[in-house]
Structure 1
Amino acid sequence: MSDLKIDRTAKTLRELTLDKLRGAIVQGYFKPGARLVERTLCDELGVSRTVVREVLRHLETEGLVETVARQGPIVARLDPSQVGEIYELRSLLEANAARACAERATPDLVLRLRDVRRKIEAAFAEGDMRDVLIHTEAFYDAMFEGADKLVSLSVVKSLNARINRLRALTIATPGRGEESNREMNALLDAIERHDGETAAAASCAHIKRTSELALRALAEQEARAS
């Protein structure tokens, strides 16, 4: 796991460690239920136990880590009922933002969204799932900001770690790249036309599909584990 070693030249050591360990969980490097042993993580990440403990506590607040009696920290398991609730909340907030964004969209905002969409498509084409996640988050940031739905955006951001973990599951589905690109381009086309109702409907359709894929992937994980 030498790829987990920390580059100390940019952010603070704690921020770098947090980014690295969060990414390892979100992208499935550490599987649900896996123990996160402090000493092992210190060696793999090349940081102190104090930093590891701080990061684990932070990831617990994000819902990526849970502490189990007599085991210590483990990668949080994805509960299907909680997953369903996350998608319900996303559907409400994102559809509302999509509608408002379409009503308010400026040419500059549409160009910004188009540019991010091109990056997402390129990342899918290259099989770079990390960049797919990064640019998808940037797309939604721009959409919520363009809609002037900043409180809604803060709610979504509080769930981002869990949302990205679910995205990592769904985008790994064969053929999902092409399907997702169609769904998101339909949303963006509606925003560009200032068609709020169609944008909201496209957003809901996209969330419904991703929810189906995520719940199916979770069921398959459970079946393999049993």
Structure 2
Amino acid sequence: MQKVERPKTLKESALASLRDAITSNTLKPGTRLVERTLCETMGVSRTVVRECIRHLESEHLVKGIPNSGFVVASISEEEAREIYEIRALLEGTAVKACSKVITPEVISQLYALHDDIALHLSKDDIKAALKLTTSFYELIFKTAEKHVAWVLVEQLNSRISRLRAYTLSAQGRKTTGPKDLYDMVRALEEHNPEAAVEICERHLREAYDIASTIDKGSDT
């Protein structure tokens, strides 16, 4: 028997909707989160909205301002640099391990994910592309059996997705980004850990160079 998927609760659906709006940069840094507006937009109660905001505050996507309520948090240059440094360590380790054990089936899945990412970016569907990119890396980590490392990545994923949304606004990134992923899969297919790690690190360096030049907003 197949596992029956548990339907999402109203809060889970609202939380996913609000998180997507922030990570895709639809709600920009500094945007004030007005409870009444969010209630009307999402069709949920104030209780649900408040629970969602508190949850997103724990993910560092939302920040409380004294006497002003909550706003969409910004990502400082220092935070962005540290996130990319952590990603380089974790992803480099995962890619290296993955290259040694990867199977043709996983290779096919990675190529399919790459194709879907490129297709959605060509249509400016950033939300879908961000989710697919997360699935791309999740498959690499889990194939490499780097489960603890993936848990650490998941804790950063909301902010990682925000940074990806920022960098994708740069000219040419919607094509160079997927090309890097394709080259990475080729290196994995060839069981070439050195090349795979080099491409992974290059991809992150290029992304950080773009992210460091973008105004990611203010909390005030």
Place the TM-score, normalised by the shorter chain, in its bin. Answer: over 0.9
Q: Which residues of 2 match residues 45-56 of structure 1 at below 5 A?
A: 45-56=42-53
Match of 1:110 in 2: 107
Asked whether the 8 Å contact 1:120–1:135 carries over to 2, the reply is yes
* Aligned position for 1:198: 195
Match of 1:170 among 167, 170, 192: 167
Residue in 1 that maps onto 2:118: 121
Post-superposition offset of 1:123? 1.0
Cα distance per residue 1:92-121 (max 9 Å; x no partner): 100110101101111111111111111111
- In the TM superposition, residue 77 of structure 1 has moved relative to its aligned partner by 1.4
> How far off its partner does 1:175 sit?
1.1
Q: Which runs of 5+ in 2 are unaligned?
A: 1-6
Say whether residues 1:150 and 2:147 are aligned partners.
yes
How far did residue 153 of structure 1 move? 0.4
Aligned to 1:89: 86
Instruction: Measure the CA separation in 1 of the matches of 2:166 and 2:182.
Output: 21
Tell whether 2:12 aligns with 1:15: yes
Task: Give the Cα–Cα distance (whole angstroms) in 2 for the partners of residues 141 and 59 of structure 1.
Answer: 22
Q: Percent identity?
A: 39
Q: Distance in 1 between matches of 2:161 and 2:45?
A: 27
Count of residue pairs the alignment pairs up? 213
By how many angstroms is 1:156 displaced? 0.3
Give TM-score, length-normalised by structure 2. Answer: 0.93
Residue 74 (structure 1) aligned with residue 71 (structure 2)? yes
Give the match for residue 157 of structure 2: 160
Structure with bigger RCO (C-alpha 8 Å, 6+ apart): 2
Instruction: Report if the CA contact (8 A) 1:80-1:218 is conserved.
Output: no
Report the secondary structure of 1:55's partner residue. Answer: helix
Out of 209, 213, 216, which is 1:216 matched to? 213
Q: Secondary structure at the match of 1:218?
A: coil
Q: Runs of at least 4 residues of structure 1 off by over 4 A?
A: none
Give deviations 1:55-84, integer Å, cap 9, x for gaps. Answer: 001001111001111111111011110111
Counterpart-to-counterpart distance in 2, 1:40 and 1:127: 26
Which one has the bigger helix percentage?
1
Contact 1:26 1:161 in 2 (8 A): yes
* TM-score, scaled to structure 1: 0.90
Q: Secondary structure at the match of 1:217?
A: coil
| CA distance in 1: counterparts of 2:62 and 2:106, whole angstroms | 36
RMSD (CA atoms): 1.5
SS in 2 for 1:172: coil
Amino acid at match of 2:56: L
User: What is the distance in 2 between the residues matched to 1:180 and 1:38?
Assistant: 36
Aligned mates of 1:108, 1:15 — CA distance in 2? 32
The more displaced of 155-164 and 174-183 is: 174-183
- 1:60 and 2:57 are equivalent in the alignment: yes
Note if contact 1:78-1:218 (Cα within 8 Å) is conserved in structure 2. Answer: no
1:7 aligned residue: none
Aligned AA (1:100): A
